[in-house]
Amino acid sequence: IQIIGAPIFNEKKVLKGAVLVFYDITELKKLELMRKDFVANVSHELKTPITSIKGFAETLLENKEDNPDVLNKFHKIIFDESDRLQLLIQDLLTISKLEKNEFKLIVTDFEIGKVVDEVVAVMSQQLEMNMLNLVVNVEDNITIKADYEQIKQVLINLLANAVSYTPENGEITLVVELIDEYMHLSVTDTGIGIDKEVIPRVFERFYRVDKARSRNTGGTGLGLAIVKHIIEVHNGKIKVESELNEGSTFHVYIPTNL
Ligand code: ADP
């Protein structure tokens, strides 16, 4: 709490009393801290790939290495790390756009089945590479009024996580149904699960249950923060059910008519 005070004198300059104003700055301090944390996190996340790109590029420039396999490996690392950097910047731009209040939703009427088909097509290669089975169960003719690209992003991020955190031969189930005036979308996996205590934290920017593992899966740590934002601007809700070593379900509820 911040207190600002001022004395009050009467006409004869005799002290009569004082005014004290109490400011509750907890929320402000919290925001300030969050902002500082965010900047520190972003810097760290950007530094890691850049250090690696620079290091390998330097080695290549020195021309000391002539084994084609090793050279190939270095080029691949530089490519992969640049890719990571690009993803990270894309996600940061998405987050900052979403956080700006002037952000405009492009709302149209569309059938959710169409979004699902597009996303499944995009994900099919990843699913195959990770030997995961996808079960899709979408109720026919569900039309919603929402931002098409953003709903697609939600689906991509949830499915990408299911792929990242589910070991080979696992199964991912996508269900879309109508519940009253809400569209209920759920993504269930048979993966590593999330500890109950940290479930609320997974929506924080850059929060990862297992930093090393998550970085290897190629995520940016921003996927769920983006998902949460999109759902909030659509007046929806997100809920997680998870059991360690058994799997997780992310439930999304979005009003069909924004
Ligand atoms: P990341 O890019 O690290 O995946 P996200 O914001 O998408 O970032 O997710 C935050 C963290 O939540 C992940 O690092 C992971 O620890 C956990 N997580 C997200 N989805 C799942 C899932 N389906 N199963 C287990 N853990 C998950």
Residues of the chain with pLDDT under 50: none
Q: Please count the other Cβ atoms lying within 10 Å of the Cβ belonging to residue 134.
A: 17
| Beta-strand relationship, 15-23 and 133-138 | unpaired
So what's the pLDDT on residue 59?
Answer: 93
Ligand 1 centroid, distance to 68 Cα (angstroms): 36
Assign 3-state DSSP to the chain and report helix, strand, coil percentages, each to 5.
Answer: 50, 25, 25
Q: Whose CA is nearest to atom 19 of ligand 1?
A: 161
So what's the pLDDT on residue 214?
Answer: 63
Ligand 1 centroid, distance to 87 Cα (angstroms): 16
So what's the pLDDT on residue 203?
Answer: 95
So what's the pLDDT on residue 241?
Answer: 98
Ligand 1 centroid, distance to 126 Cα (angstroms): 16
Ligand 1 centroid, distance to 203 Cα (angstroms): 9
Q: Whose CA is nearest to atom 14 of ligand 1?
A: 208
CA distance 47 to 117: 37
So what's the pLDDT on residue 215?
Answer: 61
Q: Please count the other Cβ atoms lying within 10 Å of the Cβ belonging to residue 258.
A: 14
CA distance 83 to 190: 28
So what's the pLDDT on residue 127?
Answer: 96
- What ipTM score was computed for the predicted complex, to two decimals? 0.98
The structure's pTM equals: 0.84
Lookup result for tokens 């890691």: 48
For residue 190, what are its two tokens?
Answer: 């048979």
Q: Are 159 and 119 in contact (CB under 8 A)?
A: yes
Q: Return the best residue to mutate from 202, 207, 239 for the ligand 1 pocket (most ligand atoms within 8 A of CB).
A: 202
Q: Are 3 and 20 in contact (CB under 8 A)?
A: yes
Q: Where are the beta strands (DSSP E) in 127-229?
A: 133-138, 143-147, 171-179, 182-189
Contacts of 231 (CB under 8 A, 6+ apart): 154, 237, 238, 252, 254
| Beta-strand relationship, 133-138 and 171-179 | parallel
Ligand 1 centroid, distance to 210 Cα (angstroms): 9
Q: Whose CA is nearest to atom 3 of ligand 1?
A: 221
Within 6 A (CB) of ligand 1 lie: 161-162, 164-165, 189, 191-194, 202, 207-210, 214, 219-225, 248
Q: Whose CA is nearest to atom 23 of ligand 1?
A: 162
